[in-house]
Chains A and B, each alone.
With several copies, the nearest count.
Chain A
Amino acid sequence: MLNILYFASLKEALGQAEETISATEFSTVENLINTLSERGEQWAGALLHNTNLQIAVNHDIASRDTPLSSGDEIAFFPPVTGG
């Protein structure tokens, strides 16, 4: 089971803030992105083809090759703009 969060413009583009995926066959973030991007153009544009995509796994900045385990929290978001 994976918990997936979307923030800011990504959340708006995908119309979703959070979802839980019960499948456990995702070995890396890349793997998860590929599967989510099969949902349609909107998803592929926001994730697979988004060169600015930021990723966090369990509250730490991660990358596409970060490995995943069941119970992980994965967040996708645009570059941060606080401060």
Chain B
Amino acid sequence: MPFPCIKIQQEDFDLTTEINNLRKGHKKIGAVVAFVGTVRDLNEGDDIAVLELEHYPNMTEKALEDIRLKAHDRWNLQTSLIIHRIGKMQPCEQIVLVAVTSRHREEAFHAAHFIMDYLKTNAPFWKKETFANGDTHWVDARMSDKDAEQKWLSR
């Protein structure tokens, strides 16, 4: 593929542009599934002012590429793309994009879901919230994310 399939960046992304690039030149694509994760402005009832994303440079790219290739091994896909933002973000901003293309919809739905579930538990990103009153705290990992990953093992 002539464009990077993994992007770690501070700047926001444009959905139409990214999906058009992902589809370009691939005439067998019939289905595109895109997941966008956004910053909720409420977590456990407190107003979030800023969300900061820390990551582990170099390992992040490797972990995401491993997940992406696992998805391509498991399903018959055309192309795929993972964009994850780092740094500071405001409520309602886009954090992550996972986009997958395939001939038929079943594969793209499963693969995009799979990539997100594995990203959540295997890619070295950490979220830190700053509340309106200035307090900060590191977001706790959710047990349900580990469960979501485990489910793919028995499918």
Contact = CB atoms under 8 A, between A and B. Distances in A.
B141 A82 contact: no
Contacts of B111: none
Interface string B133-152: 00000111100000000000
Contacts of A77: 56, 124, 126
B128 A8 contact: yes
Contacts of B122: 61, 80
Interface residues of A, number: 18
Interface in B16-67: 37, 53-56, 58-59, 62-63
A70 B55 CA distance: 25
| Interface SS of B by simple majority | mixed
Interface of B: 37, 53-56, 58-59, 62-63, 84, 95-96, 105, 116, 119-128, 138-141
Contacts of A79: 121, 140-141
Most buried by B among A5, A9, A52: A9
Interface of A: 5, 7-9, 12, 52, 56, 59-61, 75, 77-83
A59 B138 contact: no
Contacts of A5: 56
A80 B116 contact: no
Contacts of A56: 56, 59, 124
